[in-house]
Amino acid sequence: MKKITTFEDKKILVLGLAKSGLAAARLLHDLGAIVTVNDGKPFAENKEAQELLEEGVKVICGSHPLDLLDEDFALMVKNPGIRYDNPMVERAISLNIPVITEVELAYLVSVAPIIGITGTNGKTTTTTLIADILNAGGKAAKLSGNIGFPASGVASKAVSTDNLVMELSSFQLMGIKTFKPQIAVITNLFSAHLDYHGSQEAYEAAKWRIQENMTADDLLILNFNQEKCKALSSLTKATVVPFSTKEKVAGAYVLDGKIYFKDEFIMNVAALALPGEHNVENALAAIAVAKLRAVSNASILSVLTTFSGVKHRLQYLGELDGRKVYNDSKATNILATQKALSGLDNSKLWLLAGGLDRGNGFDTLEPDLIGLKGMVVFGETAPKLQKTAEKLDIPVFHSENVATALEEILPQTEIGDVILLSPACASWDQYKTFEERGDLFIASFEKLK
């Protein structure tokens, strides 16, 4: 870690705890800052705040008093999930207090080069693939960022021979100033988080910030399957390395069922362990990074032919009596379920879906459901999904929840069938998180196995 003096004896407010706030507060405290943490959770229920208080950090919990900002802070480090129209953030900006997210701190102290990955879909899979391939090739890689390992905490422990493979959300990227990865990846750009950003243009602008400090010495990997990403390639100072499944490009591409990087054959598409066109794109992005880091084809192949998916993201669990089972609990919206369905054969597929009713229908999902062997529905949206299934003449069954769905539908299936949990809905009608929902499904699979 770089022992910077930038924050020494400076008063800094960390707004919002959770993992990233805790890591940021500890790092700043170690760097000699005078840290105050403000979190909405009451102190008695706030383990992170209790730990920080014991470590000598000032904590204010249970509310967000605006007059706290009268204390002449030099900087605010904001939890990425806190919006910019939050009263505390608005007041900080009005007082000309710089507002950053903790990925900026990570960049400032890191002695390891950063490989940053952003985009709408595929971020976590691509980030994990890149780290796994680099490690397989002897290039030490550490996962960090939005993938569950706070960037500033990982950066503070990394050494110069490491690679920080950092998943970056639009929320995090809105809070950067000097942040600059050596290699950046934008997997794709679709509509998302409009409630936070206000418009698609603002959302895409936040994603595009990943490259704003990059130079020609840095490498930007872009998805040329998307015209908007192709158009953006002319608007960056970074050196662009494209990937595409549709055309030969000066990077990673597919031709006649084979994957190449700059005319060098890497592997056959059919050998990829993860199904679906979107996972071919994820693999291409990961291959591009690997080749730019001089990883051998053998190391690339060893990962891409065995990778079973990130937990809860089209995760292959294994077979039950000759039936393949996938856990895609992370599919909390229709687009994510469409992505999952695109890689599987509907004529052998049983879909398990349902969850929180946000008021939307499932008309846009109908073309992707045609020909399904059957559906199991649960949760608040079960009646809507049943109507959709009946409209398409798909056999439909009800289950109480994901824990019972697998056991109840198994007798209806045949050897060679595929069972997919991809709810197309948030989990909050029955579960606290999509992880809890997926864990219960995994537990059901293990029990039956």
- Contacts (Cβ under 8 Å, ≥6 apart) of 445: 317, 318, 320, 325, 327, 406
> Binding site residues for ATP, as ranges?
119-125
Per residue, the 3-state secondary structure of the chain, as one string, reads CCCCCCCCCCEEEEECCHHHHHHHHHHHHHCCCEEEEEECCCHHHCHHHHHHHHCCCEEEECCCCHHHHHHCCCEEEECCCCCCCCHHHHHHHHCCCCEECHHHHHHHHCCCCEEEEECCCCHHHHHHHHHHHHHHCCCCEEEEECCCECHHHHHHHCCCCCEEEEECCHHHHCCCCCCCCCEEEECCCCCCCHHHHCCHHHHHHHHHHHHCCCCCCCEEEEECCCHHHHHHHHHCCCEEEEEECCCCCCCEEEECCEEEECCEEEEEHHHCCCCCHHHHHHHHHHHHHHHHCCCCHHHHHHHHCCCCCCCCCCEEEEEECCEEEEECCCCCCHHHHHHHHHCCCHHHEEEEECCCCCCCCCHHHHHHHCCCCEEEECCCCHHHHHHHHHHCCCCEEECCCHHHHHHHHHHHCCCCCEEEECCCCCCCCCCCCHHHHHHHHHHHHHHHC
At 200, the amino acid letter reads: Q
In degrees and rounded to multiples of 5, residue 198 shows phi and psi of 95, -30
Residues annotated as binding site?
A: 119-125
Contact 61, 110 (CB under 8 A): no
Count CB neighbours of 156 within 10 A: 20
User: Is residue 402 within 8 Å of 437, Cβ to Cβ?
Assistant: yes
Tokens standing for 7? 């924050």
> How far from each other are the two terminal CA atoms of the chain, in whole angstroms?
46
